[in-house]
A and B are shown apart, each in its own frame.
Chain A
């Protein structure tokens, strides 16, 4: 699979977890994943320093595909494709 241009992704669902501490971003990501279809992409916005590690690990553990992240203005945009 070719490299994904994260800047061009139009997420099918967006979860704003900025200002939420651990485990809030994970909880919001799980809930957000339930609102999109298999094959669609969820964007998680977070300024919790732990999210950059947690979200990829969560995706890998439960069987989703972590596509990557973008950092800007002190927060991260993390992209996960629902796989199940």
Chain B
């Protein structure tokens, strides 16, 4: 019997510590999606790639939401996938070994495949 295809949402994050609320929202919604048994992927692009640098998440907290570190930890524990734009980290001189565990450097081709297989893609 064919396996039932799981619903999937991709959240593109483009804001980092300079805008804690917009940095948090993709992870808030991605956590909710995972609890609803929907596959959730967060793709960090532009300034948001700094969030994947070790030691950065601890400094981002938008009032009204849980601290971003908690949101990301929960997201990863629930099986969420965190993708990081390769040219964006290169531009910002972030080395691969500086990335947090489970952050997956991803280039345009692979990301395009992710979009094509998703039910929705949201940009923050």
Contacts and interface: CB of A to CB of B under 8 A. Distances in A.
Interface stretch (B27-35, B42-50, B88-96, B104-112): B27-35
B35 A21 contact: no
A27 B36 CA distance: 10
B120 interface: no
A27 B31 contact: yes
Most buried by B among A21, A23, A24: A23
A54 B32 contact: yes
A20 B45 CA distance: 29
B28 A27 contact: no
Contacts of B35: 23, 26-27, 29-30, 58, 62
Interface in A11-35: 20-24, 26-27, 29-30
Most buried by A among B29, B31, B32: B32
Interface of B: 28-29, 31-32, 35-37, 64-66, 74
